[in-house]
Amino acid sequence: MDKSQGLTPQSRFFRSDEAVILSVDRLQMRYGGKRAVETLDDFSLDVHKGEFICILGPSGCGKSTLLSVVAGILRPTGGSVTMNGRPITGMDWHRTLMFQSPTLYPWLSAYDNVAFGPRMRRMPRAAVDERVRRYLELVGLTEFAAAKPYELSGGMKQRVALARALVSEPSVILMDEPFGALDAFTRTNMQVLIRDIWRKHNNTLLLITHDVDEALALASRVVVMSARPGRLVGMFDAMFSHPLTGTAEDDAVRASDEYVKLRRAILNLIDTGEGKNR
């Protein structure tokens, strides 16, 4: 494969044998009220099953809005989003959205927070128990199953939120700057964890981040948005996710020509010309 093609913004070079699971088609979002805000403008993106897409863009460009529309929380004012060919009309457990700050129920234990969704879906008790234990183990919190959120650190709370997002085994996981509030060390651990989960379970992920290195550490494809109203201004294949291991070897990958070039191209796009408002 010619790696340089990954440096061409706008090109739809991504080839996947997998079917398109999410199709965002000419999405427009205009918030109403006195100060009408044009937030998304003609945003289109096809997401293939098993992709890990990281979305970068200037603050206020409409990234959270985009994710809320895909989750089914917000209705767009134009265009459409379909999942497996069917229009998204509301929230359902096929897609979960994880926020920057963990939104746990403070009065419930870690276990009960994770069990909440499956119980709401009236899953049999034994099946709930098996799943909750499995996902708490996956995020390394087996010993803290009984702990309430106030007894957990920020990183641990975010891991509970992650287990809760995964426990329904959704086809699509949407993450809005999920590691933004974490310290660098916990952040790296969470990145390694989410990457391992993605590899093992072959979910489809859409993750928003402000951090180009985070995007390159995780994504199979990086999508760059312009300043508001958010348009798609660049798309890059990024297969560093596999060589990156969460260890010292990462440094060698980050020093490689390919990595440096791709990083620069993405930053240029965000900082200059295309990335700025028209």
Ligand X SMILES: Nc1ncnc2c1ncn2[C@@H]1O[C@H](COP(=O)(O)OP(=O)(O)OP(=O)(O)O)[C@@H](O)[C@H]1O
d(CA 265, CA 216): 12
Shortest approach of ligand X to residue 192 CB, angstroms? 24
The stretch among 53-61, 84-92, 105-113, 136-144 that binds ligand X (CB under 6 A) is: 53-61
Shortest approach of ligand X to residue 134 CB, angstroms? 32
Shortest approach of Mg ion to residue 27 CB, angstroms? 16
Shortest approach of ligand X to residue 65 CB, angstroms? 3
Handedness of CA 46, 52, 57, 60 (dihedral sign): positive
User: Binding ligand X by CB under 6 A: which of 5, 11, 31, 183?
Assistant: 31
181 binds ligand X (CB under 6 A): no
Helices (H), 13-124: 63-71, 110-120
- Residue 266: what are its φ and ψ, rounded to 5°? -70, -45
Strands of 9-51 (E only): list them: 20-31, 37-48
> What residues make contact with Mg ion under the rule CB under 5 A?
64
39 binds ligand X (CB under 6 A): yes
The stretch among 7-15, 58-66, 157-165, 240-248 that binds ligand X (CB under 6 A) is: 58-66
Q: CB–CB of 27/40 below 8 Å?
A: yes
Shortest approach of ligand X to residue 35 CB, angstroms? 8
Residue nearest to Mg ion (CB): 64
Closer to ligand X by CB, 64 or 189: give it: 64
User: Binding ligand X by CB under 6 A: which of 7, 37, 108, 123?
Assistant: 37
Closer to ligand X by CB, 159 or 228: give it: 228
Look at residue 37 and give the partner it binds from ligand X, Mg ion, none, a contact being a CB closer than 5 to 8 Å depending on partner kind.
Answer: ligand X
73 binds ligand X (CB under 6 A): no
d(CA 275, CA 278): 9
d(CA 41, CA 61): 10
| Cα–Cα distances in angstroms (integers) from residue 205 to residues 22, 112, 173, in the given order | 11, 25, 5
Q: Which of 124, 74, 78 is nearest to 97 (CA)?
A: 74
59 binds ligand X (CB under 6 A): yes
Handedness of CA 154, 155, 158, 163 (dihedral sign): negative
Shortest approach of ligand X to residue 200 CB, angstroms? 29
